[in-house]
Amino acid sequence: MQGPFVIFRLGHGTGEAVSSDQTHDFALATAVVRECVALPLMRRPPDLPPAIAGLFALGHETITVVDPAPLLGCDTGPAQTAEALYRAVILLHGHPPVGLLVTRVVDVLRVPGALIRPPEDAAAGWVRGRFDHDGRTVTLFDPGDLLDAQALEQAAARDRV
């Protein structure tokens, strides 16, 4: 995967102190990112799958917002906390328009390919590698593969019902 990358955080806490919170850092190639926006007022119709955080209007488009935290193994905590008010949505290129709900956008930076380690767990097909940034490990992933994982999880949930 080619950089530069948008680094974002998921989980409890601000992530300012590595040992005092329950956050995890992830990265997306900027080539797949359309823009980052402050969390808008979303609506959540009752029939949406659990991984869909809600919908919001941006100009003439309706954006579907996916909560990647459960798919990435993170707990973001209750949505009613003060911290939840300052979350962001990373909009991805493509149609239909999709956004990822994140705790915080941290940085945009270039990472030399030599510093990106291959994933340790080949079972997680959406992981493309890992690198270190500001004393934290950042997991680089492909949102297309992750969203495919979401679709598979939703199909499996429907089959269980």
Give the pLDDT confidence of 67-113 residue by residue, as tens digits: 888 777 776 555 545 556 678 898 988 888 899 999 999 999 999 98
Instruction: Name the domain count of the chain.
Output: 1
Residue 120 is part of a domain; what is its CATH number?
2.40.50.180
24-77 pLDDT, tens per residue? Answer: 999 999 999 999 999 889 999 988 887 889 999 999 999 999 988 877 777 655
Report the C-alpha gap between 76 and 98 in whole angstroms: 19
> 0.85 exceeded by the pTM?
no
pLDDT score for 31: 93
Beta strands in 59-145 (DSSP E): 61-66, 88-92, 98-102, 104-109, 127-133, 136-141
Domain that holds residue 115: 5-160
